[in-house]
Structures are given as structure tokens and as C-alpha cells.
Chains A and B, each alone.
Chain A
């Protein structure tokens, strides 16, 4: 039933877009469709060794369109960690040089070619690695996260070049091959490949932003991702002398750990607003008429109103947006059912508000737990992620592109609670903005990482036009 509703609704969304002027030629449409089908059918999951093939395929599209071979680099690299396994993957860098002397430092266009694992037996009807078009949707792993962005950027650049567009500054593409796992490609991009990338002034990430419609066809807003929380893992460790379980001791590693977890359950980090989330809530409150909107308005008026922030945080749609959040995700303890535990550990996964040092969170957890028996340690050496300042030029270009295709669509910045390739660039001083132009129907199309991932067919072609508009705006003058 929901599919039927979506299909019906899709026709009305299309009409929003049809009022907008630019459109693809039939040849451009067919080329984008063919490219999308090819990349969806290439299972770029970690461990399957197929990402280098996709990188070469996309490189070949640029070459065929006349981009010089010396500015196209397929860069193989290895990605690996204990939890994800390893793979020989690849990144793609393409540099479209400015005509004449560049007026500014390059603009970087970002995306990732890898996808999250998908198993045919888990999907309802279609093979996740065989693109299927039905009911107005493209089905397949990566249709929304985020091979649509890869194809949209690539086809937009090909179209612009064919149309004789001359960029006034370099446009440089970085497509990585392990965003969903270890992020080595982005780390390399922010360090050893920075020369190849021409030290960009800022990045535009297709793995962020985008817009959605409600199931009744009303616009739910377009977001521009300007910040993301810092991912950091911690371990709580309790050691004990242990002993025979027939003679329980007063102290017990598992009980001490459980007690610490109860304290963490009850604890709330201090609510915080930054430029991005303030603008986000300012946009959201206009769409929320009920108690949630009231709480947003109260918090915006008085950032010290912790009750309002707590109310917002408790809403399913806003979880994680008002503060740092930490949650236990794994437990291990003991070594035999008939022995008192000598060791008990809990993995605490934190998503830290941008700009807050993960070491400060460690100290805060120690204060919360308040038990010298419970040792808090860090699992990684991630540094604080930073919010990117809201640039008027990017905000204006994104808003124009969005509203050209979808008049009346509100635009607001967003802080992502997840981690993406943007982090190492933001830390290295290159601001990054998630400004993709794809759209979906919420919540029925929110299937990234899940089963039956799908993209409205029209979204793919709108997204090509969206990137053309953005690049003409930001690199054309």
C-alpha cells in the first residue's frame, strides 16, 4: 500500500520540478541512466575487490568526454581494520583546470564509491546488485548512498564541458573507496593527495544534504550538511581478583560495571547550540507546529532552557542533535560460568558535539562513573570534528539550485550525527558542505544501509541538473 501511495505521490513531485527550466537532453538522460546502472551493478562492498573497477569505469567516462588523461588519477590503496576486514580499493581524482589564471583556489567535489554490504536473501524482491526500475524508483544498493551523487557529479561535469562551460577556478573531484568502513581515502585526501587536489578552498560533498518530501507531497526541507559529530569509542574496564562462584565476593567486576552503566544511562551531557544547529532548528521550527516546534522555539530563544533541549532530544527525529551522546554498545565479562569474573568491559560509543575534544569526554565519563574501580580508556585517537562556517556563496548557490528545481523548498543547515569523509578535511582546515541535490520521500525511502534501498527515478536526473547549476554558480564567475 505504501508503495502505491509513493508512486501516486511521485507524479505530483515531478510536477514541482517540471516548472523549472533546465532539463537534460535525451542523450544526456540515457548516458546518466547507463552509467547509474553500471555502477549499481558493480558490488563495491569491502572485501569484494570491485571498487578499483568502478573507479576505472568512472575515469573512462571523464576521458571519453574529453577531460585530459593527465588530470585523471585512479589511486589504488589498501583499507583495513580488525572490525571491517580489508580490501584493495581505489580513489579517483579528476581535475578540471580553470581557463586561464584561476580566480580562486579549487572547489573540491566529493563522494564515495563504496557501499554497505547487502544480501539478496534479505531483500524483498530484487537483487541489490542488479539495478531494477519499477514503480517510479530505481532499486539497488547505493541508489541513495551514494552512487546517485557520483553519477550526478560526473554527468554534470560532462554536460558542462560539452556545453562549452569554462570554469574560472579549478574543479577537482575526489571519489573515495572506503567511506563506509575505514575512511582511509579521505584521510589520504586531506594529507598526501592534497597537492593533487590543488589545496581546495572548500569541498562540496554529495554524501550529505539533499531534500525530502512528505508522503502527502509537501516539502519536508532541504538540508546542507555543515557539521558532523565526532565519533569516538571508549572502554569501561573493571578488574577483580575473581574466585570460585560458589563463594561470591562482596565486590564483583560485573556488578561494578552494571552500576557504572546505570549512571551513564541516567546522565545527560549539557545541551549545546552552534551556528549550524541554530540555523537547523530555526528552519525546523517553521515546519513543526506542535509541542516539538514549541520546544525548538523556546530553546532558540533561551539556549539555557535545558528542559526544552531535553524535550527536543527525546523526539525520535531529533535524537543526537542537541548534545553529545554516549551509549553502551557491547559488553564482555567473565571467563567461565562457575568463576567470579576477573574482568568485565563495556564499549561506549560516543557522538561528540563538534569542537569538543574526545579527551574531555573521557574525563567527563570518569566523573559520571565516579568509581576508581572502573577504568575509562579511549579506543581510538580521533580528534574533534569541526563545524564548517556557513559560507554565504555556498549557501546561496545551494539554495538557488534547490529552489530552481523545487520552488518553495525550505533550506537549512544540518549537523550530521554520523561520520563521513568530510571530517579529515574539516580538521585539516578545508570546510566541507554536504549539498547533494537528490530527493526522497520521507520516511518511506529512508533505506540507506538497509534493505530495498531505492531512489525516485526523477531524482537522479534532477540531481545532474542540480550539480550543473551549482557549478555554474560557484565556478563560473
Chain B
């Protein structure tokens, strides 16, 4: 058993009771009527299989747009933007502008994506595209990545409109249709569609910031201000092939398997930057004297301590935060059961530490794999280096107030580098800072199932996220703006108790 967090015990006595409570059993503060509305839209969203090439994106875009329309957004401010992503994938983005009657600030962008990663019925325990509620969770593909964020931002806006809230700046909602594949929607939105999306900053609803560990201690709310560069490479081997009754000494599959064995144990050089240093300083406080905490402190004290970095990287909570990581994600080889393979290909997905050039990673992989393997970058998606967004005090204050309203002061807010790639990188690269501030959460690592099997989200995380976004919007686009938001905001409705 790990020692309990000394810092939290001493600094926030009132928190210790909350920390010991299973956060999933704490009742949501969202009023019953809004729970029903939110659940209804969430169910519809999950049951639209918005996987690439399935042609479902317009349906999803319409579902979201209809909520805004019903709340009073005129059709002139709702823009359906069809576009092609991967070859043959006709998808769509939707851009909605909630106009301020008397704007005093530049617009604010709220972004998310409507597409989800493929999920196969045979791999899951249940149909990934049938919405379920079970054991305090919502289950289905997209429940955590990120139809929850689509629905929370939409319902927060709808609720605020129904209560007569008038923003003091235009709020632009942008939901893309190919974040998981090509990011073409974000590319277009940050450039060609800039007249519809231009904003002072963006708030990304892709991925909840909060987490608890298995002892229900708050891990914190990590607001991503930078992200690793996403780049996929292909490992390909070739062979003359032949009849499988007469195996050759060389074989494309064996050559590939040898390279994958090397990849399994290959580790890139540990690295630290300003964001990750801030992150690890916070994590060291949380972890106290645990082995992980000690390793973090050793690494902070000496960034050349590779062993300490390796110990951190090996922890499931910190995977990907100390360096570039590459992992094999797909395999394909051969053309007939009874023929020797003429080629074999592995897809290797890399998340490259900010500042490292993708071509250097390619060279390192090629040197590792050896001359029998051809390492090439995925031509469909070239990773773009994106600068870290400078931390804005108003954003940080708004998020802190909202997150701590639901989770207490023990849920500290701190900057982080995201290991995932999101639409945010395209906007950052084009000069619009983006902050990942969604208020949903889960138990780490058990609920970290984005892209994986049996994806799920605590029921309460969905409902409270509507209130979270309501608070964030009010703070950043309400009268008084940032100054008022720096004071912990009041929830718009009294907490509901069962």
C-alpha cells in the first residue's frame, strides 16, 4: 500500500474525506431534467457510428446543430462543412457561432471532434455502438473520446441560452469529422475556414482533464498546453515468396518479426521541457515518498538520470511523458494461406517529443530495424510540430474554479503535455493557443479505454461536465470575464441530493 499523500492530508483536511469516497458514487449536481436531456443526446451520439468511411458524420453534425437550433441559434450561424479526409472518406465538420449582443472581446473557440476510432463487435463484450448504462458507467465507443465532450459543450450552451445568458464575446463551436484519422477538418478550420473560426484562444473538449487513482485520491486536472507530434511509420519487408510447401530460408514475416522484437525493447532518449517539468513538479508533490515520487524528484534534480526517467516511464500513469514513444499498432502480410509472403508491413505509431523532428525519429527507427526493413512515414498524415500555448491566467482560473467545485481543492490544476494528438495542434501551429479543459474524469488507469475495448465514462463525469462547461463559459465569456471567474463560481443550480 502506497503512503497516502502527505500534502493533501495536511493542506486540505476537508479533502481527505472526499478523497476516500468513491467519486463515482457522489451524486451529480446536474438537475434531473437536464440529466434526461443530456442522456438522450449522448445516447443518440454514441449510436451513430462515426468511424471513417462510414458516411455518418452529417447525421452526427445535425444532431449537435439541432440542439443549438432549438435553443435559438439561427440557421445563418450554423455551417455544415463537408470535406474529404482519407481518400474516399467524405466527412463533415460543423461550425456554430453563438453571437454576443454586445461583444467586448475577441471570439472564443470551443472545439471537439465527432469521429471515433473503429470498434469491432467481435472484439468487445457488447455492441460498441449501442449505448449502455451499467454499474455507474456509460459504455460505448466515444463515451470518453469524445462524444462526452461534444455533448457537454453543446448542452452547457443550450442550458445557458435557456437561462437567458448573454455572452460578452462570440463563442464559436467547432466540431470536426476526422480528428482520429487525418485532421483535415482542423487543418481547414485553422486556415481556409479561418473567417468562421478566428478566435483569441481555443478550449478543447477532447479528453477529460481530471483523474482519480484506484484509492480514489485525486490525481489532478492536467490542462494540456502542448502535445507530442503524431507520426505513423510503416515497417515493410519484401521477399520473392514462393510455394509454402517449400519454405525459403528468408521470409518477409520473419524479417518483420525480428524488427518488431527490436522495437519492443527500444527506448528513445529521455527529455524534459518547461511544460513537463511543471507537470512533474506537481506529480512529485502528489506522490510524496512513493517510489514514483522519488524517481520524479531524482529526475527533476538531474535530467541526465536516465534510470530515473525509465522508472517514471514504466509507471502506467506516466507512460509517454518522458520521451518519444513508438509502438506497433497494425500488421498485414501475405496474400494466400498457401503462398510464402511477398511482403509484410507493420504500422508503427509514434508520439514524438515536442521539438524533435519526425525525420530524425525515422532515421533512428531505420538504424534500429536494420537494412532488411524499409521504414517510411505515413503519407496520409505528416506530423506537425506545434508550439506550447502560453498559460493564460483567465483560462487557468476558470478551469480551476470549475473543477474544484466538483472535486474539491485536492483536484489541483496544472499544465501538461498531451501524449495524444488532437485538433488543437493545427490551431496552435496557426497561432491560436488551445487549452484542453474538458471537465470529465475517470479512475486511472482502469477507465483509460479511449481507442480500446469496452470504452466507458462514469455517469457522473458526463453530467457534471455540462455544469463544468457552463461555469467555464460563464467565466470566460460572461460579464466581468476573467476577474470574476477567478473567484470560485457558483453552480447555476443547487446541488441535487438523492
Contacts and interface: CB of A to CB of B under 8 A. Distances in A.
A186 to B, nearest CB: 17
A26 interface: no
A342 B123 contact: yes
A379 interface: yes
A124 interface: no
Contacts of B228: 246
Contacts of B244: 327, 329, 349, 351
Contact of A255 (B264, B320, B347, B451): B264
Contacts of A100: none
A229 to B, nearest CB: 7
Contact of B453 (A241, A248, A344): A241
Interface in B214-272: 228, 230, 232, 243-249, 251, 253-254, 256-258, 260-261, 263-264
B344 interface: yes
Interface in B377-428: 378, 418-421
B341 interface: yes
A346 B329 contact: no
Interface string B127-147: 000000000000000000100
A243 interface: yes
B452 A243 contact: yes
B337 A255 contact: no
A466 B351 CA distance: 69
A242 interface: yes
Contact of A341 (B257, B264, B330, B448): B330
Contact of B260 (A248, A255, A335): A255
Given A246-B420, A342-B452, A418-B245, A331 B118 contact: no
A83 B337 contact: yes
A336 B329 contact: yes
Say whether chain B's binding surface is mostly helix, strand, loop, or mixed.
loop
Interface in A333-387: 333-344, 346-347, 349, 351, 379
Given A314-B249, A342-B453, A265 B347 contact: no
Given A244-B448, A327-B247, A337-B349, A349 B338 contact: yes
Given A246-B419, A335-B120, A258 B327 contact: no
Contacts of B246: 319-320, 417
B445 to A, nearest CB: 8
B258 A328 contact: no
A83 B336 contact: yes
Contacts of A246: 228, 320, 325, 351, 418-421
Nearest to A343: B123
A338 B449 contact: no
A247 interface: yes
A338 B334 contact: no
Contacts of B123: 335, 342-343
A231 interface: yes
A243 B253 CA distance: 25
A437 B366 CA distance: 53
Contacts, number: 195
A274 interface: no
Contacts of B333: 328, 330-331
B163 to A, nearest CB: 36
B180 A258 contact: no
A313 to B, nearest CB: 10
Contacts of A418: 243, 245
B329 A349 contact: no
Contact of A265 (B254, B418, B451): B254
A329 B337 contact: yes
A245 B349 contact: yes
A296 B328 CA distance: 44
B213 to A, nearest CB: 16
A262 B263 CA distance: 14
B330 A334 contact: yes
A330 B337 contact: yes
A242 B261 CA distance: 18
A246 B251 CA distance: 31
Given A247-B320, A261-B254, A328-B254, A255 B328 contact: yes
B117 interface: yes
A336 B118 contact: yes
A254 B332 CA distance: 11
B341 A330 contact: yes
A219 interface: no
Given A254-B346, A327-B340, A330-B334, A265 B257 contact: yes
Given A248-B320, A328-B253, A328-B254, A351 B245 contact: yes
Interface of B: 117-120, 123, 145, 180, 228, 230, 232, 243-249, 251, 253-254, 256-258, 260-261, 263-264, 314, 316, 319-320, 325, 327-341, 344, 346-347, 349, 351, 378, 418-421, 448-453
Given A83-B336, A349-B338, 19 more contacts: A231-B338, A245-B349, A246-B320, A246-B351, A254-B331, A255-B261, A258-B260, A261-B253, A261-B257, A314-B249, A319-B246, A327-B247, A334-B329, A335-B117, A336-B118, A336-B180, A338-B232, A340-B452, A343-B123
Which 8 residue pairs are nearest across A and B when measured between Cβ atoms?
A333-B331, A334-B330, A330-B334, A246-B419, A331-B333, A339-B451, A258-B260, A417-B245
